[in-house]
Structure 1
Amino acid sequence: MLNRILAMRDAGILGINARNRDFVMKHNPRSGYPLVDDKLQSKKLAQQAGIAVPELYAAIHTNHELQNIPAIIHQFPSCVIKPAHGSGGNGILVLTGKRKNRFTKANGLTLDEADVEFHASNILSGVFSLGSVPDTAMIEYRVQQDPVFEAICYQGVPDIRVLVYRGIPAMAMLRLPTRNSDGKANLHQGAIGVGIDIAGGKTTHAVQQNRQIDEHPDLGIELGGIEVPGWRTLLKLAAGCYELTGLGYLGVD
């Protein structure tokens, strides 16, 4: 095990402990944490800086406000409901539309109003939040994917993470939803991580649950060599988040 760790270090692979010690703790003042731990606060900051973010339809702060959810989701049946202080993709409910009086998920399953209210109630109770503290449920516009990604996404929308070091984009990856991840672009839940060449914006190598792969396991499509649209714009947007937060080591999704 020790030899493996040393070999990884010599190859330039940064372990999570070294990352936290030498980058997160060293370059990120704790005073800046609340700006990014609270998605509502992050959204307000981004809007003030002119950065595009999904429209916020509503924020549910109390159990009394849960009664407003049926009207909101009937008006916006394609939406995302998530905790303001969630982590690891937990607690995110994606609704893709409405069929009669039921609401469809990306995997085709349907929910009724009570199901959605119950999920939001769990968010308020802190089931998905950092430290299990009471939380806020955010109801947002469901982002639509670029046509380039339609062939390589399973029942969901991908996202892109750019790691910004002291204001300079250093690394990036594309996260693709799969059957295992229930249509969510969350690596912990089984999504695929695809490296992106930071200079050119093309995908390189892909990994799913610690295993290198060449094709999407559900779709059979090659994952390398795909050009990410608007790449230069994405890099500028990510770099701008350094000035927005003052955090020297930052992951921008």
Structure 2
Amino acid sequence: MRQIDVIGIGAGDPGHLTLQAVAAIARADVFFLLDKGEAKDSMIRLRRDILAAHARPGHRVAEGRDPDRDRTPADYTGTIADWRTRRAAVMAGLIADLADGETGAFLVWGDPALYDSTIAILDEILSAGGVPFTYTVVPGVSSVSALAARHRTGLNRVGRPFQVTTGRRLAEGWPDGVDDVVVMLDAQQAFTAYTGQDVHIYWGAYLGTPDEIAVEGPLAEVADEILRVRAEARERHGWIMDTYLLRRGGS
């Protein structure tokens, strides 16, 4: 039986690797890398650096092309479903080349359980019945954890809940019942809708990498700065991954 390990590798700092992740990397025979194009070459380079440091001699690397998708679709749910199906075909092809008894590994940014599709796609492949395998998941340090650590703050306040959501959902309105909101996957800078409220923001991009940027302060005062440094960074790198915490009612 083929074995697959889904390994969380943290938000970008090689030091985010847990001992469990290091052990999983050391035992894998083949590592599957999905190329997202030249603009994100640095993401592949970091994975290769991790393999050079922790993979065993003789390991193999199998690469596939990550399918493109519309980032601002009219039908978001349908677009994601189509992209996952196409990505599943690529991943199934990589897994099919794994010999019986070998262990393959996907190195996943952050934590595989938080806004990542790998687990769901592996379940889809298994449901299709074409490629038999078993898999395990190794948790990792998420960008959310890295953001809180970078700003030396907690995600919640005493006795109060917080919510993790997306920029798309935040644009529809502030979530009910919470004053602390962590936002990921915000291509439209939805936080700008709340500059007129008593909101504090803890913002970070490329967390855990040498390119890390962090801005913190009352949203009304720092929103323009975030928009400026975000645009400059995106232009410089060709991509951006940012996360932020909005805290209503003070810092």
Normalised by the size of structure 1, how large is the TM-score? 0.27
* Greater relative contact order (CA < 8 Å, ≥ 6 in sequence): 2
Normalised by the size of structure 2, how large is the TM-score? 0.27
